[in-house]
A and B are shown apart, each in its own frame.
Chain A
Amino acid sequence: MRRTLSAAATLAAAALPLLAQVPDARLRDVRREPANWLTYSGDFGAQRYSPLAQITPANVGSLRPAWVYQATESGAMQASPLVVDGVMYLTEFRGHVVALDARSGRVLWRYQQTLPEKLLTLGFGPTNRGVAVLDSTVFVGTADARLVALDARSGAVRWTAAVADNALGYAITAAPLAFGGLVVIGISGAEAGIRGFLDAYDARTGERRWRFHTIPAPGEPGSETWSGDAWKTGGGSTWVTGSYDPALNVVYWGVGNPGPDWNGDLRPGDNLFTCSLIAIDAATGRLRWHFQYTPHDTHDWDASQIPVLFDGKFKGKPRRFVAMANRNGFYYLLDRVTGEFLLGEPYIRQDWAEGLDPKGRPILRPNTEPTEEGTPLTPNLHGATNWYSPAFSPGTGLLYVASRQMSSRYFKAPVTYEPGRFFMGGGETEFGGDSAQGAVQALDPLSGKARWRFPLFSPPWAGLLATGGGLVFGGTNEGVFFSLDAASGRPLWHFQTGAMIQANPIAYAIGGRQYVAIAAGGTLQVFSLVGSPPGASP
C-alpha cells in the first residue's frame, strides 16, 4: 500500500509544471527579499548593499564563525556567492560550481568543470568570480571562454555556448549578469591582444542574441580613434560584471585596457572604447552612449570596476546616476540616462593628471608615459582600486571604496603580436612594502570627497559590503575580515581567516538569522551572532 502511495505522489509531482525558482520579477525587486543575495553585486544597481539589520555596531563584537566550506580545488577563491532560498551557489578556483545548504554549509551538488590541458589564461590564472541565476538555471563562465547553464537543483548541464577561442587568449573569469531571458557575459584577455566584446545569450537556449565589440572595426563609430590594423589586437576586455537599469533597459559595463598595454606607439589615438564605461541597449546590443575615463591608456588602467547605480539630486536637479571609482585614481559621477559627465575627483594621491577638464577628460602632466628607462608614477598598474567591489549604502548615502596607494616604475619595450602569447610591450617594477598602503574610504558620491578613511596596512584585493545595520565589511591581504561603523569608519570587529582575502563579502538570512560570508584562500567563511536571534525559527 505504502509503496503504491509514494509512487503516486512522485507521479503527481512530476506532472507539475517546473517552478521558475528565480523569475525575472524577483531579480527586479530584490529589496523586497533581503534574506537572499540574488545577483553578483546583490542588486542590478550593483550597490553591494544588504538591508539586513540584525548585526549592528552595538552587537557586531559577538560575530562568530557559523561554518566554513573548504574548496576541493586548490587555489584562492575569488567568488562572490549567491544565496537563493537557503541554497548558496559558489564557484571555486578553476570554475567548479558548488551548491551548499546556506545554513549548515553541507554540499548539495557539485559541478566539476573540465578545462583543457592546454589552457590560456594570460595574466590572471583560471580564477572564477561567481555565477548568475535566472528561473531555475545557474550560469557560469569558464576559463576556456565557454558559458555553461546548469540546472539549479541538480547541477546538470542544460547547455554550453562557445563564447570565443581560448587559443587566442580569450577567457572568462567574470560572473554573468542574467535578466529578462538574457545572460550577459564579459570576456578577459587584453594582455593577449584580443579584440574585446560584450555578449548576451538566450537564457533558455544558449543562442547568442547580440555582441557588442568594444573595439570598433574600420567604419564603425569610434574607429576614427584607431589607425591601421591596431584595432584587431586592441584589447578592451569586459572582465568585471556590470550593472543594469531595468527602467531604461540599459546595461552598464566597464571596458579594460587597450593592447598592447604599455607601448602606445603601436596604437595612436584615443583607442575607443577601451578604459571606458559603455551603456548598451539590452534589447539590441547597440551602444547608447560611452564615457572614456582614460583615453589612450598606457598604464593598464582598465575601467574594469563596478558601475554603481543610484538616484538623487545634483545641483538641485533630480538625476539618475552611475558612479565609478576608477582604477586611474579618479572618482566619476555621470548621468546614466545621457552619459553626461557631472563630476570627477581624485580619491588617492595620484600624479599623472592635473585634473579633469569640464568634459571629464584628464589633463595630463608631462612625462608620464612608460619609457625604456622607466617612469615612476602613481598609481601602479593595479590602480587606485581594482576588480573587487565598492559598496553603496542608501542608508548613509555614502559610497565605500577599498583603495590602493602604490606607485611603480613603468617601462616600455618593443613588442610584436603573436597569437596566444602575452602582448604587452613593457612592464613595471612596483614600489611595495611599507611604502604602499590601502584604505577603506567613505566617499560622498555627490562631491567625491572622503567623509572618513580607515587606513589599511597594504593595498587591498578585497571588496566591501554595506548593511542596513550600519556596518561596512571588508578584508585584507593579511587575512583579516573586519567590520567598520558605516557612519564613522570606526573599527568594530575583526577575525583572522587564515588566508589572503581577495573576494567580496555578501549577507543573507535564514530562519531569522543574519549571516555574512567571505571567501578567504580556499575557504568560504560564514559568520553570525552567537546565541539565538530574536524570533528565530527552530
Chain B
Amino acid sequence: MRLLSLSSLIWLAIAAPLAGQADSASDPVLAGAELAAVERLFVSQCARCHGMGGTGGIAPSFRQPKLRRAPTDDAMVRVILSGIPGTAMAGFWNLSEDEARQLTAYVRSLGRLPPERVPGDSGRGRALYAGPGNCSTCHILAGDGAGWAPDLTDVGRRLNAAFLRRALIEPGADQPVLPLPSVHGPYPAYLVIEVTTGSGKTLSGTRVSEDDFTLVLRAVDGRLHSLEKTSLKALRKLPGQSPMPSYATAFSAEQLDDLVAYLASLKGEQ
C-alpha cells in the first residue's frame, strides 16, 4: 500500500512523457493484495536497474507503451525468464512463470494511460491537423508528413489529454525524452541549442546528438549541422524553447478541444 503511494510520488517528482499517468491501482488487471505483492517483487528484483517505479536507470524505463524487446506479453515473459543475451538483463529463471506473468502485467500497467473522456470533435480536429495547423510540415503521422518532430502515430497512447493540450499551448514546456544510446537518460529529445561558429556565424537548431567533442544540430529548415565543439566560439542550451509554434491564439478554445480529441484518438493501430 505504501509502495503504491510511493510510485505516484515518483511520478510527480519526475517529468516524464506519460504525464498524468494513472496510479497502477486503477489498472483492471492487477489490484489489491496481488498488486501489492507484485510491486514488492518488482522493487526487490527489478528496480535495481530499471529504477523505482520503472523510471529507468542503467536499464530502460518502463514508462512507455511499447517496449522494443517485449512487443507482446509472451515476449516479455520470455525476456524476464530467459534474459536478453549480451546485456545485463540476465534471465530470472528462479522466478516462477506465474510471477513473470504478474510482473509483465505490472510493467505494462506502468506504460499504459487510463481511459479518459475527452471533449471535442476528433473529425474536426483531423481537418485542423491536415489544414491550417500545418502540423505535417514537422510531424509524421501514420507514414505521412515530415519526420523530424515526434511521430504522432500513437500519441494518444503515450500522452493524456492534459499533456496534449499543453503541448499545443506551451510547446517546450514538456520535452519528449530521448534515451541516448547506452547513457543514463532521460535527455530532452528536441533541446534547442544556439551556437556561434569559429567564423562568427550563429546557428540554432534542435540537438540530434551530442558528446564531449561533437554536436549535431537540426536547423529549422531541416538541414543537419555536424559541428566540432572545440571550434565553436559559444554554445547556449535553451531548455524550455521549442521550434513548434504555440497554437494558443491561432486556434479557438473549441478548436483546441477538437485537435486534442483527434490526437487522443491516435492509438497507432493499423
Q: Which of A's residues lie within 8 Å of B, judged by CB? A: 73-76, 93, 117-121, 123-127, 191, 372-374, 382, 406, 409, 411, 413-415, 420-424, 426-430, 432-434, 436, 455-459, 476-480, 482, 491, 494, 496, 499-500, 522
CB distance from B39 to the nearest CB of A (A): 9
CB distance from A281 to the nearest CB of B (A): 35
B239 CB contacts on chain A under 8 angstroms: 434
B182, B185, B186: the one contacting A500 at CB < 8 Å is B182
Give me 14 A-to-B residue pairs in the complex whose CB atoms sit less than 8 angstroms apart, sorted by A's number: A119-B90, A120-B94, A125-B88, A374-B6, A409-B13, A427-B43, A427-B47, A430-B57, A432-B185, A433-B185, A457-B210, A479-B211, A480-B212, A482-B212
Answer yes or no: B72 CB below 8 A from chain A CBs: no
Nearest residue (CB) in B for A406 is B184
Answer yes or no: B51 CB below 8 A from chain A CBs: yes
13 more A-B residue pairs beyond the given contacts A373-B6, A424-B44, with a C-beta to C-beta distance below 8 A: A76-B86, A93-B86, A125-B87, A413-B43, A414-B40, A421-B94, A429-B13, A430-B57, A455-B212, A478-B180, A480-B211, A491-B212, A494-B212
Answer yes or no: B122 CB below 8 A from chain A CBs: no
Are A434 and B45 in contact (CB-based, < 8 A)? no
Q: Mark B1-31, 1 if CB is under 8 A from A, else 0.
A: 0110010011001100000000000000000
Number of interface residues of B (CB under 8 A): 48
User: In the complex, what distance in Å separates the CA atom of A499 from the CA atom of B211?
Assistant: 12
Are B45 and A421 in contact (CB-based, < 8 A)? yes
B40, B51, B90: the one contacting A430 at CB < 8 Å is B51
A422, A480, A500: the one contacting B44 at CB < 8 Å is A422
CB distance from A81 to the nearest CB of B (A): 20
User: In the complex, what distance in Å separates the CA atom of A478 from the CA atom of B213?
Assistant: 10
CB distance from A239 to the nearest CB of B (A): 14
Are A478 and B52 in contact (CB-based, < 8 A)? no
User: In the complex, what distance in Å separates the CA atom of A476 from the CA atom of B183?
Assistant: 10
User: In the complex, what distance in Å separates the CA atom of A117 from the CA atom of B45?
Assistant: 19
Are A434 and B213 in contact (CB-based, < 8 A)? no
Are B183 and A477 in contact (CB-based, < 8 A)? yes
Q: Mark B67-91, 1 if CB is under 8 A from A, else 0.
A: 0000000000000000001111110
Nearest residue (CB) in A for B89 is A125
Q: Which of B's residues lie within 8 Å of A, judged by CB? A: 2-3, 6, 9-10, 13-14, 40, 43-45, 47-49, 51-53, 55-58, 85-90, 93-94, 177, 180-188, 191, 210-214, 230, 237, 239
Are A480 and B6 in contact (CB-based, < 8 A)? no
Are A433 and B212 in contact (CB-based, < 8 A)? no
Are B51 and A428 in contact (CB-based, < 8 A)? yes
B183 CB contacts on chain A under 8 angstroms: 432, 458, 477-478, 500
Shortest Cβ-Cβ A-B pairs, 3 listed: A74-B86, A478-B211, A427-B47
User: In the complex, what distance in Å separates the CA atom of A306 from the CA atom of B211?
Assistant: 27
A373 CB contacts on chain B under 8 angstroms: 6, 9
CB distance from B79 to the nearest CB of A (A): 14
A127 CB contacts on chain B under 8 angstroms: 88
B14, B52, B88, B93: the one contacting A118 at CB < 8 Å is B93
Are B6 and A434 in contact (CB-based, < 8 A)? no
CB distance from A257 to the nearest CB of B (A): 12
B6 CB contacts on chain A under 8 angstroms: 372-374, 411
Nearest residue (CB) in B for A126 is B90
A457 CB contacts on chain B under 8 angstroms: 210-212
Are B48 and A427 in contact (CB-based, < 8 A)? yes
CB distance from B228 to the nearest CB of A (A): 10
User: In the complex, what distance in Å separates the CA atom of A191 from the CA atom of B46?
Assistant: 12
Are A433 and B186 in contact (CB-based, < 8 A)? yes
User: In the complex, what distance in Å separates the CA atom of A386 from the CA atom of B40?
Assistant: 28
